[in-house]
Structure 1
């Protein structure tokens, strides 16, 4: 039975809420100050704590970290008659999970308690553990990824040019870095250029460098990326966006292994390995003559295609811990688990933005998470997959001699059975609140 602890110095509110939640089959204990509430925690492990802010003695705000220390998994719902912004912000920073104003809207409080209970239920032993550290290696065990690993292993020791294709966000730069880190030039620089981010004149200078006075604004010599990447790797992202002029100059570098900085009289040698990436359809670009055919075949000595995440869903389970661990490090957070329903929703999302979208979604969730467990409500626009549709439940054999109450009870029981007893999913399908479901099951 779910345990609920109510702490408020208003005896009337305490008694009213106690009777209400006991009628919904919660086990309820009441205290009238923080100190008494803390004493109860030694023998009453509440799943949810409803805590008033302004009380004699220790305030509810000051009590939040104390309750979190004793019952770290408990969800805390603050209630107050004051509507000031500072108290709301402070409560959430201290670790409160919800903030409700008096006079209390019982439906709003019911909803907050239901959400807290759902969170507790979904973050029990089945939650997925997240490692405390992460590597920079590629992640995935799908057949497609295994084939890519094999290709990387075969070509890493060579200096062959590589063309990586795939939708935006699939991780093309990660593949490029894996090739570099596995090759003989791994101790030399890995230098990246986004070919779509610069206008033609700046891109040429960025790639090949320039001499002082070569053009307006060239106040000093600049070393180009080809020179910086010598003996290492030059990664040209969005290669399909290069102008035909730059394409011609790049082709010469590939053929002659040398380049000339803008304004220079003499050429320089380069032994940089070229790895390119693009999400364009090269067959269309070649047909339209927006990309040189001779350059294309020079660049794609070794072609690698990264499939979208929706085509390798089995990799999601491995990606989530890696990306969450990375977000923990970047944001200074300590997410250690992912709730079961959150994991299920992440597995079934379509991910049109691929791994980049997954990473952004998880990073946002980590940024706003107030505990150590990532729950479904933190995932923006990510929903649980439909477990069952109403039309899939057979109503034909429900007797017309039964009362409407009995029919509703039987129907609710079938929905519950279809979702293996998960009351939250059942409520979603029936479009009712948890208290309403409880009343249906009790045939009230």
Structure 2
């Protein structure tokens, strides 16, 4: 039996060499070319059992070549590689008929595994009518490994109506994932309807979701459609699903099982023609153990889980995100601004408890309030210190709150977090670090990075302060002593 032949198209000679050697060692025959035209010639001549193609090539975009290959040879699997590691690249590659999208730089073991699966799997169906290609409309930004994995999952899900559960901390962009699944999926011609469970009074959730008939309850003067009806033909996004009361959970489970529902006060079943995307910041398994969330509903919703990482787990995306938000602010009418090197370093070292939303707010605030064209690390430090100070002021006070009371309140919140499904460890060290870090940060900000003055204000030896700065990973403004 002849060995499978793999056709590789990439304008980077080093990539062609690496792939040729690795695939050859794995037992495949390999032909490589730097151009799309040669690849297309080979395909037309009936050569090859698998195609690996780059996107950007000197004579044609590899993504534009994918549909032509699929029409000419529907059984030929295609793997798309790209250094343009965006959601749109992954979506377009999948919707045009690629078997898999692999971002550069890639892991050779992973690529070889994908090649093996591709050769053993029937070719995918090409989806006609791809979404608009404007990169500025991308709902998700980031080129980290974590985001690449999410892009690939979203791209695969655009061809199905599977129910998706998005889990992530507040501010990570859960609704953006839901919108991407809708905007680039089969239901993009229908409505996208979002409802936040935590924002609706418990007694009104069933009416909000399923609608009600006239006279169903006091004040129901007309028949009102619920969110399920409003989302017919499209996507229903159930945000903060962990806050849904038990009665509504039971009705939602019935909808997922039977595919139909009745309005409050109604008897006529209504078909539920929607795709469900749910989201939560809670650990629903912990909620199940606590008896506040139905286990059977969890498994109905958690068909495809997507975990959105907090910003602290993808710090390499922070410069790209920050510049994106500054560009958007310029489009909104603010003067164009850029980030200095030390500003980028300071942004990447921050904790970002509010995640991407907090970073966006900071960039928009700076773009609107400061006239300078270049944003410096000192300015970032100042804004972060002020933001941190505002976060500690949970309630307006007529007098100065004792520090012990403020710390006690914060510790109570820490301990209460375990009830929300958040596992807490090493609280003693974490609380000390959380007190020390902002204290030293704000003192350094007040002394404009002068460590001698800061040590004096804190009553510390200068060497002790330096050690704490190092241990707590507190960034220092360049040139300060």
Q: 2:478 aligns with which of 404, 425, 433?
A: 425
Are 1:156 and 1:183, in contact at CA under 8 Å, matched by a contact in 2?
yes
Q: Tell me the residue number matched to 1:343.
A: 344
**1:37-78 deviation per Cα after TM superposition (whole angstroms, max 9, x unaligned):** xxxxxxxxxxxxxxxxxxxxxxxxxxxxxxxxxxxxxxxxxx
Q: Which has the higher contact order (CA 8 A, sep 6+)?
A: 1
Distance 1:153 1:424, change over 3 A: closer
Q: Distance in 2 between matches of 1:231 and 1:424?
A: 54
1:381 equivalent in alignment to 2:403 = no
Q: Tell me the residue number matched to 1:439.
A: none
Q: Tell me the residue number matched to 2:259.
A: 257
SS in 1 for 2:199: coil
Q: Tell me the residue number matched to 1:224.
A: 226
Considering only CA atoms, is the larger Rg found in Structure 1 or Structure 2? 1
**1:18-49 deviation per Cα after TM superposition (whole angstroms, max 9, x unaligned):** xxxxxxxxxxxxxxxxxxxxxxxxxxxxxxxx
Q: Report how far residue 373 of structure 1 moved.
A: 3.4
**1:314-371 deviation per Cα after TM superposition (whole angstroms, max 9, x unaligned):** 11122112222233344x2122322332222112111111111111111211221224
SS in 2 for 1:218: coil
Q: Distance in 1 between matches of 2:260 and 2:277?
A: 17
> Could you say what the CA RMSD is over the residues aligned between the two structures, in angstroms?
2.5
Distance 1:221 1:342, change over 3 A: same
Are 1:190 and 1:229, in contact at CA under 8 Å, matched by a contact in 2?
yes
Are 1:335 and 1:374, in contact at CA under 8 Å, matched by a contact in 2?
no
Are 1:134 and 1:325, in contact at CA under 8 Å, matched by a contact in 2?
no
TM-score, normalised relative to structure 1? 0.56
TM-score, normalised relative to structure 2? 0.51
Are 1:237 and 1:277, in contact at CA under 8 Å, matched by a contact in 2?
yes
**1:207-247 deviation per Cα after TM superposition (whole angstroms, max 9, x unaligned):** 11112222122222211111111111100000000011110
Q: 1:310 aligns with which of 309, 312, 316?
A: 312
Q: Report how far residue 267 of structure 1 moved.
A: 1.8
SS in 2 for 1:275: strand
Are 2:158 and 2:184, in contact at CA under 8 Å, matched by a contact in 1?
yes
Q: Tell me the residue number matched to 2:369.
A: 368
Q: Flag structure 1 segments of 5+ consecutive residues without an equivalent.
A: 1-132, 392-422, 430-444
Are 2:210 and 2:228, in contact at CA under 8 Å, matched by a contact in 1?
yes
Q: Distance in 2 between matches of 1:134 and 1:184?
A: 22
Q: Distance in 2 between matches of 1:218 and 1:369?
A: 51
Number of aligned residue pairs = 263
**1:78-128 deviation per Cα after TM superposition (whole angstroms, max 9, x unaligned):** xxxxxxxxxxxxxxxxxxxxxxxxxxxxxxxxxxxxxxxxxxxxxxxxxxx
Are 2:197 and 2:241, in contact at CA under 8 Å, matched by a contact in 1?
yes
Map 1:262-301 to 2 at 5 A: 262-301=264-303
1:323 equivalent in alignment to 2:295 = no
SS in 2 for 1:425: coil
SS in 1 for 2:136: coil
SS in 2 for 1:265: coil
Q: Distance in 2 between matches of 1:329 and 1:136?
A: 15
Distance 1:267 1:341, change over 3 A: same
Q: 1:169 aligns with which of 168, 171, 174?
A: 171
Q: Distance in 2 between matches of 1:374 and 1:230?
A: 46
Q: Report how far residue 136 of structure 1 moved.
A: 3.5
SS in 2 for 1:381: helix
Q: Tell me the residue number matched to 1:333.
A: 334
Q: Report how far residue 281 of structure 1 moved.
A: 1.2
Q: Distance in 2 between matches of 1:143 and 1:263?
A: 49
